[in-house]
Amino acid sequence: MPYNNANDKNKKTLQDKSIDLSLPPEYTERLILTKFFTDRAYTNFISENFAPDQYDNETIKSALKVGNAYYRKYGKVPSVETTAGILDKLGKQEESKLLPSYANFELEVDDDFARDAIRDYIRNKSLFNLIFSNADRILKEKDASPYVSEMARISAIDFYTDVGFNYLEEIEEHIFDLQNPDNRMSTGYQELDFATNGGFPTEGKCLIVFMAQPGLGKSMMMHNLATNMIKANKRVLIVSLEMTEQIYARRISANLTKCNVNQLEDPINSDAIRSEVSAVKSDNPDAYLIIKEFPPSSLKALSLANYIDRLIMMGRKPNIVFVDYLNLMVPNKQERDANSYERIGEVCKELRALSYKYGIPIVTATQTNRGGFNNPDVDMSNISDSAQTGHHTDMLGALTSNGPESGVINLSLIKNRFGRMGTKIAYQMDATSLRLIEASSRQINEHDPNLQSVLSDL
Mean of pLDDT values over 78-104:
92
Domain membership of residue 202 (yes or no) is yes
pLDDT 10s digits, 135-146: 888 888 888 877
> Domain ends where: 155, 173, 201?
155
> Which pLDDT value is given to residue 75?
86
CB atoms near residue 169 (< 10 Å) = 8
Based on the fold, state whether residues 248 and 109 are members of the same structural domain: no
Residue 193: which CATH number? 3.40.50.300
> Which pLDDT value is given to residue 171?
84
What range does the domain containing 417 cover?
Answer: 185-457
d(CA 244, CA 281): 24
d(CA 277, CA 297): 33
Per the DSSP assignment, residues forming a β-bridge with 291 are 238
d(CA 415, CA 443): 23
CB atoms near residue 454 (< 10 Å) = 16
Domain membership of residue 3 (yes or no) is no
pLDDT at position 340 over 80: no
Q: What is the DSSP string of 24-50?
A: PHHHHHHHHHHHHHH-HHHHHHHHHT-
Domain membership of residue 443 (yes or no) is yes
pLDDT at position 379 over 70: yes
pTM of the model: 0.67
* 3-class SS of residue 178: helix
Based on the fold, state whether residues 193 and 232 are members of the same structural domain: yes
d(CA 432, CA 426): 18
> Domain ends where: 155, 175, 203?
155
Domain membership of residue 13 (yes or no) is no
d(CA 457, CA 451): 10
Largest CA distance in the chain: 93
184-185 vs 207-212, strand pairing mode: unpaired
Residue 111: which CATH number? 1.10.860.10
- Which amino acid appears at position 291 of this protein? I
Please tell me the total count of domains within the chain: 2
Based on the fold, state whether residues 224 and 342 are members of the same structural domain: yes
Mean of pLDDT values over 259-269:
91
Based on the fold, state whether residues 268 and 394 are members of the same structural domain: yes
* 3-class SS of residue 448: coil
Domain membership of residue 42 (yes or no) is yes
Quick check: bond before 325 cis, omega within 30?
A: yes
Based on the fold, state whether residues 354 and 407 are members of the same structural domain: yes
Based on the fold, state whether residues 224 and 348 are members of the same structural domain: yes
Top pLDDT among 382 and 21 is at: 382
As a whole number of Å, the CA-based R_g of the chain is: 28
Based on the fold, state whether residues 190 and 145 are members of the same structural domain: no
pLDDT at position 273 over 80: yes
